[in-house]
A and B are shown apart, each in its own frame.
Chain A
Amino acid sequence: MTTVIHAVIGYFWLLFTVRFLTRRPGAQMTPFEFVLVFLMGGVIILSIVGNDRSETNSVIAVMTVGLLHRLVSALAVRYRGFAAIVEGIPVVLLDRGEWRTDVMRKMKIQETDVMAAGRVKGAKSFDEIRYAILERLGSISIIKQKE
């Protein structure tokens, strides 16, 4: 029984911790963030497994988390507000020649990050970029100026 409770609490705690920890420019996680992920996952595992090494315990824990994940996904689809809390929403960084400075500051993104994303799409300079949008997962989408 403690397994299920631990699993539920662990899942939500991890969900929100990762949510607030990582919304970095660029789509990749830094090596340090990988380490953090391993660390946090590992700690939760130890607390759930405890001294119970039976297959039963592990199966129940995995089932619980799987079911939770599914439930959270379903709720995120039904309720946009819930999705905003759990996943975040895309935000505009560059809007037709103007930087959204407050957003850039809050999300700790520099202009060079946006240009790097732009270069991936073949943009040579800022005036080739019409919109730059920070997506939920941290990647920056570039919409180029129409010819």
Chain B
Amino acid sequence: MGGALRGIFGYCFLVLMVRIAGRRPGKQMAPFEFVLIFFMGGVTLTPMVGDDQSLSNALITITAIALTHYAIAWLKQVSPTFARIVDGTPLVLLRKGEWQTETMLRMRLQDDDVMSMARDQGIQSLDEIDYAILERNGEISIIPREESD
């Protein structure tokens, strides 16, 4: 059935797209990102349904997607390299007063983005930050400088 094959392909393609389309920095998904995600998912499903609007096609497609999801999760468990490819790696943005400029540029981040996250934790300025780390899911973790007297 076409739905199953398209389901598997669609799922993998979406994983790839989300991985490489990149996220705007922030703790939560911006409304626009919701729109984008919904859009990409919605467009991807149209060929899966196609002209076949039967219940069986729908169920088979959904099952194929769920199985692919499970397969990917299992592969991530089994192979750290695969997990690295699919999820990425945490990246250091700011290290003890020094910006990691290559990373910032490549990940398309500005100092504003780091500061915005920091303000959320009540930090007032950049010199109060010890480390800033871009997590795999796009969040930025801030480790404040220890008070040391």
Contact = CB atoms under 8 A, between A and B. Distances in A.
Interface of A: 10-11, 14-15, 18-19, 21-22, 27-29, 33-34, 37-38, 40-42, 44-45, 48-49, 53-55, 57-59, 61-63, 65-66, 69-70, 73-74, 76-77, 80, 83, 87, 90, 121, 131, 133, 135-137, 139, 141-144
A42 B42 contact: yes
Interface in B35-53: 35-36, 38-40, 42-44, 46-47, 49-51
Q: Indicate the size class of the contact surface on chain B.
A: 35 or more
Contacts of B42: 41-42, 45
B81 interface: no
Contact of A121 (B40, B116, B122): B122
27 contacts: A11-B36, A14-B36, A21-B31, A33-B31, A37-B34, A37-B35, A42-B38, A42-B42, A54-B47, A55-B10, A57-B47, A62-B13, A62-B14, A62-B17, A65-B36, A65-B40, A69-B22, A74-B108, A80-B110, A83-B112, A90-B116, A131-B124, A133-B119, A137-B31, A139-B28, A141-B116, A141-B122
Contacts, number: 121
